[in-house]
């Protein structure tokens, strides 16, 4: 992350602003049961395109595996809003005990793709690493998810062996 040049990606942030897409976090919106349900529905919809994803979690499983875990922090969950429509998310977990944060999921509803929203959300979300006091951001992707791999490469992610 020390080499991350956010200014290179400001055009994506600006494109969102001009289009009326607001980037915020779940912490800023309020980490409420209603917002957790909205996050679940958005994550479920966006995850449907992950190769070999299979059936998505039930809401209770989602809470248990994604929310009610030590690495969850609503400050690390970026939401893209088009007025009241939740159109994208970039969820980053707090793994500071291992020296990094991890971008777990980035997704945009199909009708909003191709506008640079994913890159804008990931750029916006890089600040979460600072909040956690780490300088390393990791991410994962399915090896057949070429669009995710391409975006991650553009942002500067490189293949690495995990400790």
DSSP for 17-32, please give it. Answer: HHHTEEEEEHHHH---
Q: Which residue has tokens 């506008």?
A: 115
DSSP 66: I
Say what the pLDDT of residue 84 is: 93
* pLDDT(163) > 80: no
In angstroms, the CA 66 to CA 158 distance is 25
DSSP state of 67: I
Tell me the mean pLDDT in the region 142-151. Answer: 78
| pLDDT top residue among 80 and 142 | 80
CB atoms within 10 A of CB 156: 13
Token readout for 128 is 């979460």
Residue 2 has pLDDT above 70, yes or no: no
Predicted confidence band at 115 (pLDDT cuts at 50, 70, 90)?
A: very high
Strands of the sheet containing 100-108, edge to edge, are 21-25, 77-82, 85-95, 100-108, 137-139
Q: State yes or no: pLDDT of 39 exceeds 80.
A: yes
What predicted TM-score, i.e. pTM, was given to this entire model?
0.90
Among candidate residues 8, 93, 89, the one with its CA nearest the CA of residue 41: 89
Assigned token pair, 8: 């290179």
Judged by average pLDDT, the poorest of 69-73, 99-103, 131-135, 141-145 is 141-145
- Which pLDDT band holds residue 161 (cuts at 50, 70, 90)? low
CA dist 21 → 26, 84, 136 (Å): 15, 10, 27
Among 56, 52, 54, 51, smallest CA distance to 39 is for: 56
| 109-123: average pLDDT | 94
Q: Report pLDDT for 54.
A: 80
Least confident of 29-38, 43-52, 57-66, 74-83: 43-52
């Amino acid at each position: 992350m020390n080499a991350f040049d956010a200014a290179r990606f400001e055009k994506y942030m600006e494109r969102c602003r001009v289009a009326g897409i607001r980037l915020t976090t779940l912490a800023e919106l309020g980490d409420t049961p209603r917002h957790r349900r909205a996050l679940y529905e958005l994550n479920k919809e966006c995850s449907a395109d992950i190769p070999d994803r299979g059936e998505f979690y039930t809401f209770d499983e989602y809470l248990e595996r994604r929310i009610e875990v030590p690495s969850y922090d609503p400050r690390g969950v970026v939401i893209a809003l088009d007025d009241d429509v939740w159109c994208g998310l970039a969820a980053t977990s707090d793994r500071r005990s291992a020296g990094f944060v991890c971008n777990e999921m980035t997704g945009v509803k199909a009708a909003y793709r191709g506008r640079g929203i994913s890159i804008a959300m990931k750029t916006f979300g890089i600040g979460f690493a600072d909040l956690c006091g780490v300088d390393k951001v990791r991410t994962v992707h399915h090896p057949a998810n070429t669009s995710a791999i391409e975006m991650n490469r553009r942002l500067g992610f490189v293949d690495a062996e995990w400790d």
